């Protein structure tokens, strides 16, 4: 997270771990291999936490609001790991690791599809604005994921202050897609502390 993928050497990683490059190579074939392990671990975390909400009970708006909140909470509390997961990798020479890139891209697509499905249900129920669901995920994720660009935890910022930001971002993401934030369907997003209206 500090220096980006290209500028971070395995020597620097080993030093930070108090370990050696040899030990890292014992577990990973290359820097790209290690990097994709971080991405895959971060994507699994998100998927594990959010999928049960998507498939669980409740109206589409209720579920989408809870999904957005959980997504943002994980993002902000596990920022170093999640930053690489949501921003992904610029085109780097990856060599043999290109197969792992494909698998990470598939994980990300599956995760986005979870949201697109619930958004689609919300559109059909008349609660969300009429956009192609996959396109609708873009500004929705943007309102939340942009935090990986601007946010950095302040030294004395406690868990509750971070949670407040998560609620605020999730509420703005929801409002962006809601047909009428003052309508009854919006009140189903009561999981969010912020009034949607």
Least distance (Å) between residue 59 CB and a second copy? 20
Distance CA 12, CA 46 (A): 28
Q: Could you tell me the sign of the dihedral formed by the alpha carbons of 20, 26, 27, 32, in that order?
A: positive
Least distance (Å) between residue 47 CB and a second copy? 19
Residue among 26 and 150 whose Cβ is closer to a second copy: 150
Using CB atoms within 10 A of its CB, is residue 164 exposed (0-12), middle (13-18) or buried (19+)?
A: middle
Burial 107-137 (b: 16+ CB within 10 A, else e): bbeebbebbbbbbbbbbeeebbeeeebeebb
Residue among 40 and 94 whose Cβ is closer to a second copy: 94
Residue among 23 and 193 whose Cβ is closer to a second copy: 193
Least distance (Å) between residue 94 CB and a second copy? 12
Q: Are 75 and 147 in contact (CB under 8 A)?
A: yes
Residue among 6 and 96 whose Cβ is closer to a second copy: 6
Which spans of this chain sit near a second copy (rule: CB under 8 A)?
2-7, 86-88, 90-92, 129, 131, 135-136, 138-147, 149-151, 165, 168-169, 172-173, 175-182, 194-195, 197
Q: Are 151 and 157 in contact (CB under 8 A)?
A: no
Least distance (Å) between residue 189 CB and a second copy? 13
Distance CA 123, CA 21 (A): 51
Q: Which two tokens stand for residue 101?
A: 């890139």
Residue among 57 and 130 whose Cβ is closer to a second copy: 130
Least distance (Å) between residue 75 CB and a second copy? 11
């Amino acid at each position: 997270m500090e220096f980006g993928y290209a500028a971070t050497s395995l020597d620097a990683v080993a030093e930070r771990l108090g370990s050696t490059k040899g030990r890292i190579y014992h577990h990973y074939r290359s820097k790209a291999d290690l990097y994709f392990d971080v991405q895959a671990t971060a994507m699994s975390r998100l998927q594990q936490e959010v999928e049960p909400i998507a498939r669980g009970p409740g109206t589409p708006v209720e579920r989408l609001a809870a999904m957005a909140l959980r997504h943002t909470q994980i993002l902000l509390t596990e920022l170093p790991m999640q930053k690489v997961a949501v921003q992904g990798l610029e085109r780097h020479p990856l060599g043999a690791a290109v197969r792992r890139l494909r698998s990470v891209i598939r994980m990300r697509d599956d995760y986005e599809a979870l949201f697109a499905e619930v958004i689609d249900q919300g559109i059909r129920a008349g609660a969300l604005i009429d956009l192609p669901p996959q396109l609708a995920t873009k500004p929705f994720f943007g309102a939340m994921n942009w935090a990986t660009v601007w946010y950095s935890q302040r030294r004395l910022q406690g868990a509750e202050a971070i949670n407040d930001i998560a609620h605020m971002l999730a509420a703005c993401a929801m409002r962006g897609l809601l047909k009428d934030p003052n309508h009854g369907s919006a009140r189903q997003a009561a999981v969010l502390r912020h009034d949607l209206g």
